[in-house]
Structure 1
Amino acid sequence: MCASWQQYEVAPGGSADSDTGVAAVSRIPGSMEVWWIGAGTSVEGAYWYE
């Protein structure tokens, strides 16, 4: 079974620098979490668990 990505907002617009890059981590096998700077310099995140 393949799970879909779940997306969420970490912090509202104006919370981050627009020049910041993407971060990703895999804490356990079969998972992935990513964070990025969204529109309006919000901090966005998403996760996927197998």
Structure 2
Amino acid sequence: MGSWKCGNCGYELEADKPPEKCPSCKEKCDFLDNTCYTPDCQYEGKDPRIK
């Protein structure tokens, strides 16, 4: 399962793929994949460097 962040409002969710519309701002937004792929953030599951 991946971690996704709304490019509009910053809402974060965990899902296999991002939704069509953001559950928070109700807009059709670009979602950034902020899943952790490096050992330095593996325990959080998401990469805090992605703003």
Quickly name the TM-score band, shorter chain normalised: under 0.3
TM-score of the aligned structures, taking structure 2 as reference length: 0.24
Bigger Rg, which one: 1
- Which one scores higher on RCO, CA 8 angstroms, separation ≥ 6? 1
Higher strand share: 1
TM-score of the aligned structures, taking structure 1 as reference length: 0.24
